[in-house]
Chain A
Amino acid sequence: MTAQRPSPPAEPGSAAPYEQRVPPPDARGGTARNGGAPPHFPAPSQADIDEAIGAAHAQAAHAAPLDHPPRDFPPYRSSALRHPLASPLPLRDPEAVELTGPVFGVTDVTALDSDLTRRHHAEPLGERITVTGRVLDRRGHPVRGQLVEVWQANASGRYAHQLDQHPAPLDPHFTGSGRCLTDDEGRYAFTTIKPGAYPWRNHTNAWRPAHIHFSLFGDAFAQRLVTQMYFPGDPLFPYDPILGSVTDRAARERLVADYDHELSVPEWSLGYRWDIVLDDPAATWCEEGRA
Chain B
Amino acid sequence: MTEPTRAAPAPAAMPLGPTPSQTVGPFYGYALPFAGGGDLVPAGHPEALTLHGYVFDGAGEPVPDALLEFWQADPAGSATGAPGSLRRDPVTGEAAGRDGVRFTGFARIPTDADGHWMIRTLAPGPHRPAAVPYLALLVFARGLLHHLYTRVHLPEHAEALAADPAFAALPPERLGTLLAVREAERRYRFDLRLQGEKETVFLDFPLEPHQPVAAPVPGAR
Contact = CB atoms under 8 A, between A and B. Distances in A.
A261 B5 CA distance: 11
A31 interface: no
Interface residues of A, number: 104
Given A97-B127, A108-B85, A88 B148 contact: yes
Contacts of A250: 17
Interface string B89-114: 01001000001000011100000010
Interface stretch (B26-34, B44-52, B155-163, B182-190): B26-34
Interface of B: 1-2, 4-6, 8-9, 11, 14-32, 57-59, 61, 63-65, 69, 71-73, 79-88, 90, 93, 99, 104-106, 113, 124, 127-128, 131, 134, 136, 138, 140-149, 166-167, 169-170, 194-196, 199-208, 213, 215-216, 220-221
A85 B174 CA distance: 13
11 contacts: A78-B142, A81-B143, A88-B204, A89-B170, A97-B71, A140-B215, A153-B27, A159-B27, A243-B22, A252-B20, A254-B19
A71 B203 CA distance: 14
Contacts of A291: 208, 213
A246 interface: yes
Contacts of B2: 258, 260, 273
Contacts of B8: 134, 140, 185
Given A104-B83, A113-B93, A225-B21, A69 B221 contact: no
Interface string A81-92: 111111111111
B21 A226 contact: yes
A204 interface: no
B115 to A, nearest CB: 9
B205 A281 contact: yes
Nearest to A86: B199
A141 B204 contact: no
A231 to B, nearest CB: 14
A252 to B, nearest CB: 7
Nearest to B21: A68
A224 interface: yes
Contacts of A138: 14-18
A98 B19 contact: no
B128 to A, nearest CB: 5
